[in-house]
Amino acid sequence: MNAYASAYTRLKQSFSRIAALDEAAAMLGWDAAAMMPAGGAEARGEQMATLAGLSHEMLVSNAIADDLAAVAALDDAWDGANLALMRDAHVRATAIPRDLVEASSRANSVCETIWRQARPASDFPMVRDALAEVVRLTREKAGILAQTLALTPYDALMSQYQRGVTAAEIRPVFANYEAFLETALPAAESYQRRNGVADLPPGPYLVATQEALCRRLSADAGLDYGSARLDRSAHPFCGGTQTDIRITTRYDEQDFCQALLGVLHETGHGLYEQNLPRQYMRQPVGAAAGMAIHESQSLIIEMQAVRSDAYLGYLAPVVSQAFGRVISAAGLKARLRHVARSLIRVEADELTYPAHVILRFRLEEALVSGDLAVADLPAAWNDGLHAVLGITPPDDRQGCLQDIHWYDGAFGYFPSYTLGAMAAAQLMAAARLAVPGLDDGFARGDIAPLTAWLSQNVHSLGAKLGFHEMLAQATGEAFSAQAFEAQLTSRYFPHQVT
């Protein structure tokens, strides 16, 4: 074995061990959100900080640095991409001192735990100081990464979630969507008023029945429950590992749709993880290509497939039988495709959802730059939401406390949601051309032809390609919001001039 091969083999072994540590942290994170008693929070924070420190220590070690220096290039495209991702991870890690890594992990854990009490109490002052510490450490980290990577501080944070996308690219996309929404939203509201709505029967819908139905439809969509489980948490998410997927949701006895769509959304994330290339498991190139791509995979299931006319026609008799009452496809469409100026992001319709992301994008940019003080966040949030949707939250629970992300230190993540929605529409348009009869399958509840196409064109590629490269290869076109806006127009205000 030559020197290149030996060094690269050692690198793969080292990164596999780092990935195993990160997997352990992921499982502890799932447990903290879904199972852990409140009394375990302090100890869990130390556990998470220790694992983060160990992972960081390995990544910045002289052994990895020496092996990276010993491997100039690799001929194989997959190994070459893997090596490039290893270098990027090492450069980022060596820029951040271990004490900052552990301090950030500890602060995030403390802040998230306080947020879980502050949110239901609508008490922002309760968590304000903890959030200020998270923001302070985030700014410190962003400043270091910005210098190392020759990026702006916010771009440096955003690149942790989706490489190759910058705020300068996002701003015009979001500005164009705002312009689209100015006419699209009134047009959709007008169309909705003229055509009326069909109601769903009032609750209660038993939680046990909802849970069984969610699991069934998730499994039917392709999630392998031999390597996955469904639980409850304050904020729905998909976590765990490639061979141990953990999805969560929350239930409302008066509205079964919230949990159902939440689970199918997280199922899209889980399918992506389960179908990543096993031969590169625990290697950087074997991971997901980024969170915008990840969101495209959840939204192509939840929004593009499940909310289609064909699938809702299939779903109506299924939920009718489960709950023992008549639930029509028209009622499901009215509920799941109802346009409203919602206060809550996770409950927003797909037309107005990007407005929520645009708000968060602007606020977190301001928090990271220091232009917005944490103490002023509630007022800035309320003013910003009124600017984009014309509504104002009555309290902080429905305002700046509603999302977990900032309280867990995830700054730069939010743009991925809308980039993912736009990418999902672009991918669906390409899939319809490549796989005739998708809607015929949806009408039978069969999403497999779509997921097979996604597995070939997205899942199986791991992180070999970036956001722009993967979309261009899968769809034959550069990233664009055109397919997204066309789909919204046809679904929410057809035959109307905007």
| HSE-up of residue 426 (Cα within 13 Å, Cβ side) | 27
Nearest residue to 357 via CA among 403, 288, 311: 403
Q: Are 339 and 352 in contact (CB under 8 A)?
A: yes
Name the helix (H) or strand (E) containing 146.
Answer: helix 124-149
Helix %, strand %, coil % of the chain (to 5): 70, 5, 30
DSSP count for the chain of H helices, then E strands:
20, 3
Q: Which two tokens stand for residue 194?
A: 């003229």
Which residues contact residue 478 at a Cβ distance below 8 angstroms, ignoring those fewer than 6 apart?
A: 468, 471, 472
d(CA 154, CA 368): 7
Nearest residue to 259 via CA among 216, 292, 222: 216
Residue 92 C-alpha from the chain's centroid? 22
| 430 has pLDDT over 70 | yes
d(CA 131, CA 111): 6
Q: Are 138 and 409 in contact (CB under 8 A)?
A: yes
* CA-derived radius of gyration, the chain: 22
Q: How confident is the model at residue 498 (pLDDT cuts 50, 70, 90)?
A: very low
| 294 has pLDDT over 90 | yes
| Across 186-190, average pLDDT | 95
pTM of the entire predicted model: 0.91
DSSP, collapsed to helix, strand or coil, labels residue 238 as: strand
Q: At what angle do helices 3-34 and 62-70 cross, to 10 degrees?
A: 130
State the residue for tokens 């919230």.
258
| 388 has pLDDT over 50 | yes
DSSP, collapsed to helix, strand or coil, labels residue 247 as: strand
d(CA 420, CA 379): 28
Residue 340 C-alpha from the chain's centroid? 22
Name the helix (H) or strand (E) containing 229.
Answer: strand 228-232
Catalytic residues: 266
| 433 has pLDDT over 70 | yes
| Across 260-271, average pLDDT | 96
Q: Which two tokens stand for residue 32?
A: 């903290």
Tens digit of each residue's pLDDT (9 = 90 or more) over 118-147: 999 999 999 999 999 999 999 999 999 999
Q: How confident is the model at residue 1 (pLDDT cuts 50, 70, 90)?
A: low
Across 187-201, 227-241, 249-263, 289-303, least confident range: 187-201
| 79 has pLDDT over 50 | yes
d(CA 405, CA 363): 13
d(CA 495, CA 391): 28
| Across 371-394, average pLDDT | 97
Report pLDDT for 38.
86
Report pLDDT for 234.
80
Q: Residue 254 carries which side chain, given as an amino acid letter?
A: Q
Tens digit of each residue's pLDDT (9 = 90 or more) over 311-365: 999 999 999 999 999 999 999 998 899 999 999 998 899 999 999 999 999 999 9
Q: How confident is the model at residue 496 (pLDDT cuts 50, 70, 90)?
A: low
DSSP, collapsed to helix, strand or coil, labels residue 232 as: strand
| Across 62-73, average pLDDT | 93
Q: Are 90 and 64 in contact (CB under 8 A)?
A: yes
* Buried residues in 62-91 as b, exposed as e (16+ CB within 10 A): eebeebbeebeebeeebbebbbbbbeebbe
What does residue 249 show for φ and ψ, rounded to 5 degrees? -150, 180
CA–CA distances in Å: residue 476 to residues 31, 119, 418, 424, 472:
41, 44, 21, 14, 5
